[in-house]
Structure 1
Amino acid sequence: MRSWRAALRIAAREARRARARTALVVAMIALPVLALSYVAVNYDMFRLTPAERAERRLGTADASLTWLVDGPLTQNLRGGGWVIPGDPPTTAPTLDEVRAVLPPGSRVVPLGETRLALRTTTGVGELPATVVDLADPMVRGIASVVEGRAPAGDREMAVSAEALRRLGVGLGDDVTSADGVRVYRVTGVVEFPADLGEMVALPPDAGPVAQRWLVDAPEPVTWEQVEQLNQRGFLVELRTVLLDPAADPRYDPSVADADATVVGTGVLVAGLGVLEVVLLAGPAFAVGARRRRRDLALVAANGGTPAHLRRIVLADGVVLGVVGAAVGIVLGIAAAFAGRPLVEEYVAQARAGGYRVLPPALLAVAGLAVATGVLAAMVPAFTAARQDVVTALSGRRGAVRSRRRWLVVGLLAAATGTALAAAGAAWVSETVMLAGLALAELGLVLCTPSLIGLLARFGRLLPLAPRIALRDTARNRAAAAPAIAAVMAAVAGSVMIGVYLASDRARSVEGYQPALPHGYVTAWYDGFAPPSDPAPVERVAAAARDAGIEVGAVARLHQPTCPPGTAERISCGLTVAVPAGRACPYDPSGALEARDRRRAAEDPRCAVGYHTISGVLADSVVDDGSALPLLTGADPDDLRRATEMLRAGGVVVTEPGLVVDGQVAVEVRRYDPALPPDPGGGRAVVDTVRLPGYALTSGLSAERVVYSPAAVDRLGLAAAHTGFVLATATEPTTGQEDRLRDGLRALPGSPVPAVERGPGGYGDLDAILLAIAAGVVTLGAAGIATGLAAADGRADLSTLAAVGASPRVRRLLSLCQSGMIAGLGSLLGVVAGLTGAVVVMFALNEAGRADWPGGGTYPVTVPWSMLTVVLAVPVVAMLGAGLLTRSRLPVERRIV
């Protein structure tokens, strides 16, 4: 212990003397500590306690009732899941009927939800609305008025801050409904802690009939009463269960246990972060050990053992780890507290439970920081303990060679980790996959010194400055190898994640089936109920042009429906049956063995789609050929043949396999709830008729059937006008869509527009952000290694100056040293990342084939934009080293 106390004092003195290096190491350790502390504090603040969760859900009520069905239901303990054997609800019970099923003396507050179409700053928008009495104390915790007063009449409302901005109004202003019939006065600003988005609050008399009620019972509601309410179709949530689920004998403790997968994944991610910090901070500790090698040699010459030397260097890690932990935790807590309003508004969209920290997590983070500092100082400590005393005192440095056993261990670890990652992907286990990636990364780190030594053999082929840079990198591989490994690890991880994201985007794009050509617009009547006097297509086109949309052709949309005179309870429809020989022979809902699932995934008849699962194709349109070009985007020659088929009374489909001998099998379905259920669980009467058919060979891949008016009439059904389709030159903006919605509301039936915007959300922003993160690590590692090489090469630079080297040599040498670290690390990282990504993608695709009908396979897609950023970073590092390095060569006295 005395030797440790002395080592710690020496470390503290050295930290004060080398302030720049100390600040660098403390920053490296404090940054991940700050991030982990920030996450832990935010997690604790936004993880609601049972009391807070009950308040957000029930306010101050004892229970809440939600009416779901006209008959009995079975619910789980918390009221979050249920089984409904009866029919869906028809007419909600009144407030008096709800009171009748509750204990005498119970007080009830109704709640309702709806959507309001209101005029906004850009046109017409639909905002979610809650019908609630904000003045009632029972709703405290669910909603509160933060400014103004609660609405009282059916012409008043309270709106959230987000809704105020969307509507463009202030407190006391008027808001007009989309149809211009009703005008609401904004009396207050309301806040729902569970949802800070756009919200409107209406008083109970101004909204629809409630289907949820808050209950303040004179005595606690028992489970016997809950079961009685379940028999009447009510779902019940109890405050007592939300506060303490274990209080009920049916409580299952396994439900509340922590997810082992989440914990394991978190541990592995934290471990990868620690490894990255160790690799980055290791060279900085090596700088200190290299600068102090003469002092350490003097300690050894005066009787110090290798253990003493190790403790002196390890003490640096302890001291700087403690300082980094303290700085990171304090800054993390401060950042979490200061940024809480921003996180609430823009990330969580909900209020936090309160200002609090998570002490056990912060203690663990502090211990992790100290361990990181010690691990980062471990290699320099053992290197310093093995140094030759005479060589160190004379200022010389012996040759450093990489031991072959570390190369063998590294190769074995890389191969084992790759196999483990592939197995984890095949088993769909994130924990195993991450463990394999971490092991493979560690193996590559162990191989890096040997690779540097191998490359150093080619130094004689290079000019003077790069030859010296490569030689110094090889001689000082104890510090250069961790820096190169840190760059490699950061780049490899980013490339692997980037390839996965790009492949996932490509899979999503391939699996997306657009309903229309990109940018085209449909306008459907609400509930597909056409008006008695629909507007002509010219008025629809004019409304689009008034909204600033460049419109081409406009056509009406029709769908098959029941003929006039059919009872209202009966609904009708048409479907195309898949031929027996072309239907998928495997049942996706059945229990299939892995071999059968793999066969199904490879069978083209079982391609994932609606008709493969249901056996029918149900997206039906009635058209004479006028809307067909807008719906399909097919080639002119293909459209000509399809139009001829429609005019001849046939059917056009988009799936060639549905046409057999020039005909398709059309099923006429009439659903009658008055009939007894059939063996399939439905109440449908089905007739099958074969009609002439044509399959489109071009255009969109969306599964669609277009029936001719003559075919619908032959099948005994009618065609109902349900909306319009508009061809546009470019994709309308959101503002143009709002203005179009506003213009269409003036037409009979008020059709609602919808724009085909494609799959969306699949840009390269996430991959570029990963590349930037890898670039920051690369620049940091290159700067550290370049500074170390400059510190160690001062004597060599003095020799160069003495023999007449130009002052530009130092700048060129620093540029080559930086390029060596950043370039070699980035190149190895890209190769390792692409190799690992291919292995993981292959394993995921194999697992997907055994999990049919899943989401399809991943096409291996390389994010070239990300690789361009990553490979450009070494150039930036070299330019930075060249600009920041002084040209004047030092002149020093060498000890010989």
Structure 2
Amino acid sequence: MSLFTGWRAALRIARRDAMRAKGRSALVVAMIALPVLGVTAADITYRSIDSTEAEQLTAQMGAADALFSDPGMGPLQQMPDGRGYDIAGDERPEGEVPPIDMRTAFPKGGRAISIQSVPASVTTAYGLTNTEIVEFRTSDPMARGKIDLVEGAYPHGNGEMAATEPFLKSSGLHIGSRTTVDSAGRTYTITGVVEQPDDLKSQQLYADPGAVIAPWQAAADRDRKVLPPNTGSTEWLVKGSGSAGIGWGDVLAANKTGALVVSRQVVLDPPPDSEVPMAQSASYSYGNDSGEASAALVTVVAMALLEIVLLAGPAFAVGARRSRRQLGLVGTCGGDRRHVRAVVLSGGLVLGAIGAVTGVAAGLLLTVAFRPLIEDWAGQRFGSLLLKPTELLVIAALGLVTGLLAAFAPAVVAARQSVLESLTGRRGVRRSSRVLPTVGACVLALGVAIAVFGGTSGSSTLVAGGSVVAELGLLACIPVIVGLLGRLGRRLPLSPRMALRDAARNRGRTAPAVAAVMAAVAGSVAIATYMSSSLAESDQDYRPMLSKGTMVVSSTDAKAAERLPLARASVEQHITVTGGHADFSRVWAGSDCNVYYEDESTCGSIELVKPTGKGHTCPLNTKGAKELAARLSAEEHRQMMRSPACTDEYNSWGSLSSDANNIVVGGPELLRTYAKLDDPAAAAALKAGTPVLLNQAYAKDGEVTLKTVHTYNAKDEKNRKLHPGPARTSTDRMKVYVADAEYAATPGIRMILPQRTAERLGLHTEPSGSVYAVPHPPSDAEEQRVSAAIDQAGGGLWLQTERIPGDRESIILLILTLFAGVVTLGAAAITTGLAKADAEADLTTLSAIGAPPRVRRSLSGFQCLVVALTGVLLGTAAGLVPAVALRLVDLHNAMQQMRKEPMESAFTPIVLPWATIGILAVVVPLLAGLLAAALTRSRLTLARRAG
């Protein structure tokens, strides 16, 4: 028999065997097809979103030939792509360079349209909101690709606008709605929905040139107001006069006038460096992360191959055992071990080919079907659905090869069986190897040691290597761990006892499935743990502008402060307030520099003098700070940073007070609502006229020192009467109520002065705003309603909320959890299906001796539960090794940075993602068991034994 003839017969046998065992074949095809599907969809999505240079230029300049702009530096020189540019020549212009007449920079015969934006307040369905209005003729053919119409019509004339979909969702408006630009007082009709293909999440309004800014400027001139400063930034889309576009000569000519040009023709076909003046004096290079992307792609493909081998391998083993009589007949007909191996490997080839083709086709179809969802999630449109035939063939080939790899070990085992064993159906007795688990335990310990050493020494390479070694060691220990499961069920009821013993007896089927679950869960838990820890670190370093759970309504000047009662009424009407509110006033000395800021040298000042010595001076901000930091642990450094003496050094931000020393005037309500200080003694002190000091580092013997400079501004006649003559400096020591150390980090407030104390010290006060305790930040609709009421009352007030960061990466964590859960369910389901196929005789015997029908369901459920729970627990342990080690690397680097810069935080927590672990360790195994029990038939049709 020739080699070709033998393989042809083997393929025919494998094809017929696959058709007879449709259920098992479908499982193998599904496990090969699913990872291939995922890799195919990821490849197509990545290639489609990763825009080409031409697609990026289209998103930047639409259908125009070039994008012109004025950097404001006069004649310049630039690189061909326009990313690098500088002033031409060695002499820098003195003073501000006047804007150029862009028409002199355009090539002769060219046509141009302008793009100019301005921030504005516009009315919405709920009230008033701030957004960006872009004056751009979106209906012009040159705009295609930069701005596209989604629905409705482009705006035409001075009374129409188009809006992006995110703006409409936030504002509650729609096509046909009317919105008013608040500052200009003109109303516009929304005629269509447009989008930026490269930024689908932008919230903007579009109008024709001259429709918004010119009327706004006219209104501003009439009312003697000034437009926002960034309205002067203008870009131009330019179309050349001929079909050649705008060449490098046109770019150089425009550079001489002071224009920066990004030309489509030049970028796609750049001139040689000898023709680029800037290239002669400077060298520019741009980062290339293709190496990292390739490494990530290789990692994903390797993980997919591992999952297929681990899950599909037992299926081939079960298939070989169920076909052992057929394989024995091959031997009786003159076939040797080569032919038996060929039959089993042919099964891998046939099913691998079907799975690979199915996976690639399904990946393509699903990407096309879910393209809008993928684009919305990515925030940009595909330039085109880009297919790389070579890459798709490689992915399909990997699926095919993986099917062969999964069938390799079962083929070797099947070939070793004697013909007598195959024909009689005996499996023989094999003892488990003691060498493999011993070596695995040693490798596991070695890998953990390497990872921990790498973490403490700051080597990410050692961490990665040690983690891989540890996981391989744990994989080698899985058969022994599975074998120990059988001993746990001695006193359990029938179904769980049989499930545990079946798992232990059939380790060749159970161990790979447990390993597959472990691999998926380990990766998810590792990433989730690292992300949760990093988020906790960033939350610790975050400097809030307002106290948690509060919202502030503030005024800009004394005239606006008169409208605070109306603003307070609006807030209480439209926003849920749980803890009441507290009014506060700003305080200053001398002239009101919050208004007269042109000459700050004549402004008064208030300084809360900080005593020196222990408990007052921050040790991390002294001469011996580096030596001190070298002796501190990360936790000791963190505690010192959080002490009252040091907290102001890095946490002095706040928006409640306009004074640099964060001193405000208020009453007991401010303590309770904003500082969260519910202390009757502190409230009584304020009522009695005693200031409350929140940062105890400024107090010595219960007193503080307040240094005040009283002066006046020549333009401030009111304060000139109050402070005639030269500047006067006064220093006052006064008793204060000192709050506990935990209140030193209150954002924006260091000390609260009673009104009468401020007057006694000769300070000026003015109502500034109100603080509200709210259960959650207000929604867009609530903010817009309040903003509208404030604007209707006369403006000059603003609403500020503190959106404390949190759950920023919850979507990624959810995706990781879902991925690990799906793999866990799939592996458990496949193992249960194989167990049912492999133990059909045992189940028949159970039914024959009178076992109730529910035993079959409960047995399937517990078999599924055993695989899922074992894999999840081992995967969680394996995933914590790299996560903890990487956090040790971060700690090592943070400690080094802290010793160089003592005020840099070294806080590097390790936070376990309990929600993710809980879902994987409890919810997913229970769900797997329940689904297996629910989908298993209770009754079995008894078949007559053969022979």
| TM-score normalised by structure 2 residue count | 0.79
Amino acid in structure 2 at the alignment position of 1:389: V
Deviation at 1:753, TM superposition (A): 1.3
Per-residue CA deviations over 1:372-413 (Å, capped at 9, x if unaligned) read: 222322332222223343222211212333323322443344
- Provide the C-alpha distance between the structure 1 equivalents of 2:609 and 2:247, rounded to a whole number of angstroms: 56
Give runs of aligned pairs for residues 755-774 of structure 1, distance below 5 A: 755-761=801-807, 767=813, 770-774=816-820
Partners in 2 of 1:600 and 1:870 — Cα distance? 31
2:124 matches 1:120 = yes
Aligned equivalents of 1:87, 1:569: Cα separation in 2 = 29
Q: 1:681: which partner in 2?
A: none
**Number of positions where the alignment pairs a residue of Structure 1 with one of Structure 2:** 870
Q: Contact 2:606–2:706 at 8 Å: present in 1 too?
A: no
Q: Which residue of 1 aligns with 2:268?
A: 243
Aligned to 1:482: 512
Map 1:344-355 onto structure 2 (within 5 A). Answer: 344=375, 346-355=376-385
Mapping of residues 280-429 of structure 1, within 5 Å: 280-344=311-375, 346-419=376-449, 421-422=451-452
Aligned CA-pair RMSD: 4.6
Q: Deviation of residue 183 (structure 1)?
A: 0.7
- In structure 2, the residue matched to 1:267 is 298
Secondary structure of 1:122's counterpart equals: coil
Structure 1 187/502 Cα, relative in aligned 2: closer, same or farther at 3 Å?
Answer: closer
2:234 to 183, 199, 212: 212
How do residues 708-723 of structure 1 correspond to structure 2 at under 5 angstroms?
A: 708=753, 723=769
> After superposition, what is the alpha-carbon deviation per residue over 1:535-590, rounded to whole angstroms, capped at 9, x for unaligned?
354323211233253472341452658825956254867676877763464799x9
1:714–1:101 distance in 2 versus 1, CA, 3 Å: farther
| 2:718 aligned partner | none
Query: What residue identity is the alignment partner of 1:211?
Result: S
Residues 400 and 476 in structure 1, CA contact (< 8 A), matched pair in contact too: no
- The SS at the match of 2:351 is helix
Cα displacement (A) at 1:201: 0.9
Aligned position for 1:636: 679
Runs of 5+ consecutive residues of structure 2 not aligned to the other structure: 214-226, 714-726, 899-903
Alignment of 1:30-49 (within 5 A): 30-49=33-52
Tell me the amino acid that sits aligned with residue 199 of structure 1. Answer: Q
Q: Does 1:858 align with 2:909?
A: yes
- Paired residues for 1:508-527 under 5 Å: 508-525=538-555
Q: Residue type of the partner of 1:18? A: A
Secondary structure of 1:483's counterpart equals helix
Amino acid across the alignment from 2:209: P
Q: Counterparts of 1:396 and 1:176 in 2: how far apart (Å)? A: 86
Cα distance between partner residues in 2 of 1:227 and 1:424: 53
**C-alpha displacement of 1:509:** 4.1
Is 1:199 paired with 2:199? no
Cα distance in structure 2, aligned partners of 1:865 and 1:600: 27
8 Å CA contact retained: 1:483, 1:781: yes
Match of 2:838 among 784, 788, 792: 792
Gaps of 5+ in 1: 673-684
Partner residue, 2:223 = none
**1-structure distance, mates of 2:665, 2:341:** 87
Query: How far apart, CA to CA, are the structure 2 residues paired with 1:688 and 1:247?
Result: 70
Q: For residues 592 and 52 of structure 1, what CA distance do their matches in structure 2 show?
A: 55
Which amino acid in 1 is paired with 2:924? V
Q: Distance in 2 between matches of 1:404 and 1:88?
A: 81
Check whether the contact 1:36–1:365 (CA below 8 A) recurs between aligned residues: yes
Cα offset for 1:6? 3.4
Judged with a 3 Å threshold, the aligned counterparts in structure 2 of structure 1 residues 741 and 134 are, in CA distance, closer, same or farther, namely same
Classify 1:752/1:776 alpha carbon distance in 2 versus 1 (closer, same or farther; 3 Å). same
Question: Is residue 696–residue 744 contact of structure 2 (8 Å, CA) maintained in 1?
Answer: no
1:447 equivalent among 477, 499, 504: 477
Q: Which amino acid aligns with 1:624?
A: V
CA distance in 2, matches of 1:182, 1:63: 33
Q: Pick one of 563, 570, 586 that aligns with 2:591.
A: 563
In 2, Cα distance between equivalents of 1:513 and 1:221: 49
Q: Give the CA deviation at 1:188.
A: 4.3
Q: Give the one of 287, 309, 319 matched to 1:278.
A: 309
Q: Quick check: 1:574–1:668 contact (8 Å CA) kept in 2?
A: yes
Alignment of 1:536-547 (within 5 A): 537-547=564-574
CA displacement at 1:798 relative to structure 2: 4.5
For 1:521 and 1:812, the matched residues in 2 are separated by 55
The worse-fitting range, judged by mean Cα deviation, of 53-62 and 251-260 is: 251-260
Over residues 194-239 of structure 1, what are the superposed CA-to-partner deviations in whole Å (9 max), with x where a residue is unaligned? 233432112222227441322647763567667756xx6x665444
2 CA distance for matches of 1:395 and 1:761? Answer: 57
Q: 2:745 aligns with which of 690, 701, 714?
A: 701
Question: Does 2:522 match 1:492?
Answer: yes
Preserved CA contact (<8 Å) 2:589 2:708: no
- Per the TM alignment, residue 482 of structure 1 is displaced from its structure 2 partner at its CA by 0.8
Hey, what's the Cα distance between the residues in 1 that align with 2:495 and 2:894?
A: 52
Whole-angstrom distance in 2 between the partners of 1:562 and 1:659 = 25
Q: Which amino acid aligns with 2:836?
A: A
Q: Could you give the per-residue CA deviations for residues 12-71 of structure 1, whole angstroms, max 9, x where no partner exists?
A: 222222222222211122112112211211222222211121122133445444445567
| 1:432-486 Cα distance to aligned partner (Å, 9 max, x none) | 7566544433332222112223343556565555444333323321111111222
1:623 match: 664
Secondary structure at 2:132 match in 1: strand
Residue 602 of structure 1 corresponds to which residue in structure 2?
Answer: 637
Partner amino acid for 1:134? T
Which stretch of the first structure deviates more once superposed, 441-450 or 612-621? 612-621
Contact 1:122–1:739 at 8 Å: present in 2 too? Answer: yes
| Cα contact 1:70–1:90 (8 A) shared by 2 | no
Aligned-partner Cα distance in 2 for 1:574–1:469:
77
- Secondary structure of the structure 1 residue equivalent to 2:101: helix
In the other structure, the counterpart of 2:717 is none
Query: Contact 1:268 / 1:434 at 8 angstroms: preserved in 2?
Result: no
Distance 1:401 1:394 in 2: 21
Q: Could you tell me which amino acid in structure 1 is paired with residue 22 of structure 2?
A: R
Deviation track 1:142-178 (CA, whole Å, cap 9, x = no partner) reads 2245666554544332223444455555555532234
SS of 1:818's equivalent in the other structure is: helix
Structure-to-structure mapping, 1:588-599, within 5 angstroms:
none
SS of the residue corresponding to residue 549 of structure 1 reads coil
2:933 aligned with 1:867, yes or no? no
Q: Which piece of structure 1 moves more, 571-580 or 85-94?
A: 85-94
CA contact (8 A) 2:647 2:745 kept: no
**TM-score (normalizing by structure 1):** 0.83
Which residue identity does 1:539 align to in structure 2?
A: L
